[in-house]
Amino acid sequence: MREPVTSGTLLAWYDQHARDMPWRVAPQDRARGVMPDPYRIWLSEVMLQQTTVAAVKDYFVKFTNLWPTVADLAAADDPEVMAAWAGLGYYARARNLLKCARVVATEHGGVFPSNRDSLQALPGIGPYTSAAIASIAFDLPETVLDGNVERVMARIHAVETPLPTAKPELMELAQALTPRERAGDYAQAVMDLGATICTPKKPACGICPWRDGCEGHASGFAPELPRKIAKKAKPTRRGVAYVLRNSKGDWLLETRPNKGLLGGMLGWPGSDWTDEPSPAPPVQTSWEPTGIEVRHTFTHFHLILDVMTAQVDTPPDKGVFIPHQSFRPSDLPTVMRKVFDVAKHRFEQN
């Protein structure tokens, strides 16, 4: 007879194997009464949405060095925050980050609310993030269901219903295991289990603390779970990016509209991104094609950009010249940095 899967078994494992995270309070410290800073938990959870821990760590450290408290972040200038976020992707998160920080600072006295409903009423905080903050920061028995937890639940209960159809069932199973004591540690434990042992490919079942109670392992098809409905192929769109310098070497850039993809970020003036983009140069001049395509993949489509360059002092129809001494390519989102790398090489050749 298999041993039952319990939160206590996983917590004992977590006490010995918890990952070291810059936003996390170690279980031994938590046992001594040290509680996490809700600001740091909120910031990390927003950054971790659709982004890996490895990609987030350096950004988290940078943000907390620049803005140690939610009040500091609320008082920051929008362009500085957007520049610090550049490269992390999903830029609506950065805009909501500022909105949320300012609501907490002005309407909650700089203190994050400690219940899930109030947390979820804040800008940019949905069901998952509110549960994570309530659980990890305030030790409330809320159930956190991310991709790691879904995978663990599907395997230990041998759930063969494919995702996303299986989400409600997996939530019920996860809720049944969420303890009332040490809920924050448990939430992090089950995520750690999925990230380090119950991995998408080649799970390390031999060292899993829940192996003896895992129905997927007993049946022999745990690595095949969770099953997923096949995704539709992503469409490909095209566009044109125009990189212009003046005789002083300054760069023409524009701030993209707040709404839409890469909203609020610096970028190169360009065309629309469609099947057949219409030319939209910021000035009428002799544009030189680089002959090099920039390729980038967003969540819902692939993008191919043709890069055009020119050097004139004609006042542009859109955008502003950024002095070359203060221009930092690192302030650009990834696709715009790729364009810069192509254009810079062409300017260096001329």
- Cα torsion 333, 336, 342, 347: sign: negative
pLDDT at 252 over 90: yes
Question: Which residues of the chain does CATH 3.90.79.10 include?
Answer: 236-349
Which residue, 269, 185, 147, 206, is CA-closest to 11? 185
pLDDT at 1 over 60: no
| Strand stretches in 120-263, DSSP E | 236-245, 251-255
What is the average pLDDT value for the chain, to the nearest integer?
94
Residue type, position 96, single letter = N
Measure the CA angle with vertex 215, ends 211 and 219; round to 5°.
105
- Tens digits of residue pLDDT in 178-191: 999 999 999 999 99
Per-residue confidence (pLDDT) for residue 299, from 0 to 100: 87
Q: Which two tokens stand for residue 338?
A: 């790729």
Give the CA-trace dihedral at 31, 34, 40, 46, to 10 degrees: 30
Q: Give the C-alpha separation, 285 to 288, whole Å.
A: 9
pLDDT at 4 over 90: no
User: Rounded to two decimals, what is the model's pTM?
Assistant: 0.84
Higher pLDDT, 315 or 158: 158
Query: What is the CATH topology of the domain spanning 236-349?
Result: Nucleoside Triphosphate Pyrophosphohydrolase (3.90.79)
The terminus-to-terminus CA distance of the chain in angstroms comes to 75
Do the Cβ atoms of 247 and 286 come closer than 8 Å? no
Q: Which two tokens stand for residue 36?
A: 């996490």
Average pLDDT over residues 308-313: 94
- Tens digits of residue pLDDT in 14-43: 999 999 999 999 999 999 999 999 999 999
Q: Give the C-alpha separation, 226 to 205, whole Å.
A: 15
Q: Give the C-alpha separation, 262 to 246, whole Å.
A: 25
The secondary structure of residue 205, as a DSSP letter, is G
Per-residue confidence (pLDDT) for residue 260, from 0 to 100: 82
- Tens digits of residue pLDDT in 95-145: 999 999 999 999 999 999 999 999 999 999 999 999 999 999 999 999 999
Per-residue confidence (pLDDT) for residue 347, from 0 to 100: 86
pLDDT at 350 over 70: no
Catalytic residues: 45
Which residue, 91, 31, 36, 30, is CA-closest to 59? 91
Per-residue confidence (pLDDT) for residue 133, from 0 to 100: 97
* Distance, C-alpha 62 to centroid of its chain: 15
Per-residue confidence (pLDDT) for residue 271, from 0 to 100: 95
Question: Which residues of the chain does CATH 1.10.340.30 include?
Answer: 7-224
Class of domain 7-224: mainly alpha
